[in-house]
Structure 1
Amino acid sequence: MSLPALVRSIPIRLGMFFVLSGLSFGCGEPTEPDSRPGLHWIVESTAEEIHSIASYGGQWFAVGPSGGIYELRDGDWRLVESGTDQILVDIWGSQEAGVFAVGTHGACVHYDGTSWSAIETGSDATLLTVWGFGTDHVLAAGEPRVLLRYDGTSWSEDRVEALRDWVVALGGTAPDDVHAVGIRGLAAHFDGSTWTRLSPGTNENLRDVWAFTGTEVYACGSAGTLLRYDADAWFGLDPPGGYEFALNGIWGRSPRDLYVAGESAVLHFDGDVWDSRPLGARPRNTASIFGDAEGTIRVAHGSSIYRLDGSDWVPELTARPVNLFDVWTISPDHSIAVGDRLVMTGLSQFWYVSHEDPTASWKAVWASGPRDIFVVGDDGRILHYDGSIWAEMSSGTTQDLMGIWGFGPAEVFAVGTVGTILRYDGAVWSLLPPVGVPGQHCTGVWGAGSDDLFVSTHRGVYRRNHEVWTQMEGSGSGLEDIHGLSASDVTAVCDAGQIYHFDGTSWSIQLAERAENLLGIWRSGPGAGYAAGVRGTLMRLVDGSWTQMDGPVDQAWFGICATSDNEVIAVGSSSRIQRYTSR
């Protein structure tokens, strides 16, 4: 839209949360180059994210988990009641229409200038973006092919083939000039009657779009992607200084005053030269950026909000980060991370909070597929996702559950404190005889088959073979996690930093004692794997030998998972999610 129109309507715009980086956030700064070109660690999220920030009618708003909406009042950010407990991901508004915020399970809330209230959309889809033009033409999108429209009275849902991937952002200049961008290079345009798929010239995930006029449209995305649309086609722009990290939010007053938010910095373009304005904060992907008619610019950066004061960014709000304890990769583009209070869903490199419970501490996750996800945690709590809703299951125990593994929807095992082991048969969970001696602390479980389970405990590994439990000699003590490829290739890690390996006959020490605790293990192939632990410990197994990978020393890693040797995700303290990738 033109600058006068922008100032007049003051539209509110997205900043997504690619977990605490990328739906914001996305890829971050490489922390350790691999010996092979193209492989590196990237920060994807930091989970207590503020997903979007924007201004309307002289008021500032920010949205995030659990229906949380922050309003800036008298110089302080205050949490207000929104009318929903769903996760809110994006926000938009105008002088005429008021303010709309959307999120999970079709959630939509509206601000009329006085208070917030929920509006029924009739959809259960996850909505990642909202954008509109006045009171009778508001659009929302997210899940593939889903497009919702508000006509001033009610929402209606359409299926749009051109939007066949996840839509992360909408933007435009008029009801007949709307752009949609999303994962895997999705770019589409609406001319008032038809949505048309466009080629942006990249397969990178596109995170945001901002339109000044029909011939001045900009988009940004992962790996430093910057694009411009001139009414005929999208073409790439060179990021300043070879910037290769995720760019998640874009906003501007004019093409000669454009801001792009990325990894711990905001890039500015004056029409001739790009410059970088670092936030001076720990690296996290900045999720959203917006400015108002008075010239104030703010960003949502992880769990914080910063205001630009001259050339400096001043922190205004900092929320409490959480620990993430485990991660499961269903496919290269679909992952689940769990921790204190939160369950997070990752789509490609785009993350969002999909379930939140302030009383929960989720410790482990396993899935047979995208419509069959199990999460276990403290006090015997078990959560299940059927492709539509998250629902609690009765476990029959109040012991803390620390690990879970399965072989299909009707054969799942969970383990926990006091020797607790549970089996799910597709209908109910039942307690099995305890592992080892009373008081035994079970930390992880993996199986070569439903009749051949390996359980890590603080007294070594116990094996359940054809319903008979035996303690395995030479398997160490203080074990924290276990994983394998077959009954003759199993690995366990312990709190003293040792790594043990079972070759089908006996256990041996594969890595001698280290100073740091190891908390997570994942075998990615024969002679290959990854281990994670405290003080930034990330280790890689190559051809049977373990080597240290570099990372922030103040970071604890609790869980790790891989779909291949070149696609690994680690989760840990400070809501941090990090991916090792060749993409």
Structure 2
Amino acid sequence: MSSVRPALLLAAAALVACGHPTPRNDGASARNDRPAPVVVPAPAWCVDGWCREKPALGITRSIRGTGWNDVWTLESTGVVHHFDGTKWQQFDLGLRPPQAAYALWALGPRSAMFVGAPGSGRRYDGSTWRPVEPESYSLWALSETDAWAAAYGNPYCKLQHWDGVRWTKDPFNGAVGGTLIGIWGSATDDVWAINNGGTILHYDGSQWTIVVDDLHVGLQPVIAPPTYPRDWQLTSIWGTGRRDVWVVGGYQLRPIVLHWNGAAVWAAAPDDAWATTLYTEALYHWDGKAWRLHSLHPHAGIQSIWGSGPRDVWAAGTALLHWDGASWTDRNLTTGDLAGAWFASADDGWAVGRGGAILHWDGRAWSRAPSGTTRDLFGVWGAGARDVWAVGAAGTALHYDGAQWTAVSGAEDDLTRVAGTGPGDVWLISPGNNWHWDGHRLEARPAPAGIATGPSGELWGFDATSLVHWDGTAWQPQSEPFPDADQGGWRVNAIFPTGNTVWGVGGNVVKWDTGKPSTPDLPAPAQGFFGPDYYELTSVWASSPDDVWACGGTQVLHWDGHAWHRFHLPGPRLVAIAGSGHDVWAVGDLGVIYHLRGPDGRR
């Protein structure tokens, strides 16, 4: 059995998968001069002409592997990444809610499997991903012919075994409630399982038995809060051999670590273990004497840890981080939530979002651009390809001059929107003060709550009561006061002008022709998991009065000059829509980007 001490996930409230011991490769894992990894995009996944140019980030539920050059990650959306030591390859399997992926296992570069909600499981044979049966939160495999998964859901823990041909249910049902959320083993006759209610089970090669039923009786945790109530939960299990098994859990972000050494129950820890409290930026390392804190960036959201050796440890969640024995580095393959997009042309566009993320589209692929900030960005707009603005939290204002992004000082509050008529007439909008750029400096000036620039450079705005137009010197009212939203009126989230016509969206669509409003009929909303997915539109964009697009939730609406048509794009929530000519992009949560090409929406 390997002497490597694997990374250890310490989670406070999660459903996470477990790992298995892997061969040590000190020569490989010690290298710090490996080539910088690149990403090989997955084939686009398309629905109704909309293609996901960039898979949604999702939440990385699990990271597993067999060595430094064979690392796999699984996201809740069914996106799998594989690292071969040089490059990352994406597999976007296009799971649709309520499908969700939970647990991953890897046996080599040509053998991986994941399980999840009903209909979500897949197995990779080196060339093809095929459906697998288990509906499970947890998965463990020793070989191609020996794997265990826990049946999905309550009221009883039900285990299933894979023999290389089929899955069979184990006769063990027991009086064990809750859900089995962790399985790990060192051999065919040494497999452990835990449920979220605190029960610990062991398999000896012939049957499963309950080893621990009450965590409050006779246990001395390695780490524990001063008092731990009876509703604390176990969340993950991992080990290196029969006498080195870790079980972790917690209660309200207070961690608990238990350790089995084969003789005394829950005894001393080894000298190299990693742990994290779920959804935080903190990682803890045990060096044999004490736990030491490693603070990471604020959006790490760690859910899973895996390593092939002390100099090759990976941590993943809403970020992807790597430990080389000396420091943690960000190896993120994508970005978090996206909040805004703007395009100068079909081959030159920008998207911005969480943690200072800025992405650039060059007509072929999206790439990350350095922003110089970790603050969330909410909006982007440009007067031209070499004159682009991005705005965000705490007065963050960035300007792109065609070569690089630089910070512009002078603004305050959270800036949520940006638009203008040219390089010397740019407006930055916040819930507090609004700011105007005259080409030299920012100055606080009154402005409406929301603004947008049309295809011809016309600048319009709206506030809680009316529509306004910027005539170059002042904001002029252009409509009657809005009806009170509480009295069946409108709640406007965004507008977009096309000449004398202005479109507004919110819970419905409003059209102003020369200041006179109308509310067109919309197609019935898509059916969600719990019923109709009623419209909550957050963004609108148009290339002309007869080509208008709006998005919100998982739906996109299109006006073709005669009627509105609906597209349902399952997955993360769509937040912003923008385009150039007949090319349209919708971006949103978890970094999702959909692209529609061509006048008829077909590739």
Taking structure 1 as the reference length, the TM-score comes to 0.48
Larger Cα-atom Rg = 2
More strand by share: 1
